[in-house]
Structure 1
Amino acid sequence: MEYRGMKKWRPFATMPEQYIGLKEIINKQAEVPQPLLTEEQMEQVNFTLIEALHTNKQVYLTYFKNGRHITATGFIQFVDSLGNLFVFIDEVFELKNKMRLSELINVHFV
């Protein structure tokens, strides 16, 4: 007879599909709807973006992506109001991110 040692009992680990399904359900419950900005808030965001572009100041962005509010710090490189997009360089990874202006929730200087 051979001693097998202590084994952990994992009763629900036999169905990995269950974990995938539960993770999807939890992520769906954590989603929030995209907030609608008023005309005044949109003007303030545009003004701050343009000022940050010309003065090359660091900004703190809050934007909406995949049902979540995401915050980042970095620099604005390009703003196209007619094309509804802007280019943002992330401070941490120094990556260029193209985003829509409609996804933007809040912008302010650091």
Structure 2
Amino acid sequence: MEPRGMKKWRPFATMPEQYIGLKEMINKQAEVAQPILTEEQMEQINFTLIEALHTNKQVYLTYYKKGQLITEKGFIQFVDSLGNLFVFIDEVFALKNKVRLSELIDVRFA
């Protein structure tokens, strides 16, 4: 007689297709629509980005990516308003992240 091990405790994961389908359904339910910003909000974000870039202050960035609002803490390294792009270095892994300015929702000083 051979023990079943972890198979006994994972009844819904026995069929990989079903498990993948359930995960996709749960992720779709968690998606949100991208918020639309007013001109005043976009100006405030622009001023905060420029000030954070010049003073090298740490900021909280909230941006929209694949149906989710993501908030990260980091330093602004580069802003290209013509190319609709900015680069920031996150606090956790110290990696450079490129994000479009159109995906940016909020910027606040830490």
RMSD: 1.6
| Farther-moved stretch of structure 1 (91-100 vs 10-19) | 10-19
After TM superposition, where is structure 1 displaced by more than 4 Å over at least 4 residues in a row?
3-7
In the TM superposition, 1:22-61 aligns within 5 A as: 22-61=22-61
Length-normalised TM-score, structure 1: 0.90
- Residue identity opposite 1:107 in structure 2: V
Describe the shift of the 1:22–1:52 C-alpha distance in structure 2 as closer, same or farther (beyond 3 A): same
Residue 66 (structure 2) pairs with residue 87 (structure 1): no
**What is the SS of the residue equivalent to 1:37?**
coil
| Farther-moved stretch of structure 1 (19-28 vs 4-13) | 4-13
- Residue identity opposite 1:67 in structure 2: G
- Residue identity opposite 1:66 in structure 2: K
**What is the SS of the residue equivalent to 2:25?**
helix
Larger radius of gyration: 1
List runs of 5+ in structure 1 lacking aligned partners: none
> Aligned residue pairs: how many?
108
How far apart in 1 are the matches of 2:4 and 2:83?
62
Q: Percent identity?
A: 81
How far apart in 1 are the matches of 2:99 and 2:13?
39
List runs of 5+ in structure 2 lacking aligned partners: none
- Residue identity opposite 2:79 in structure 1: V
How far apart in 2 are the matches of 1:59 and 1:6?
50
How far apart in 2 are the matches of 1:92 and 1:33?
27
Q: Of Structure 1 and Structure 2, which has the larger fraction of its residues in helix?
A: 2
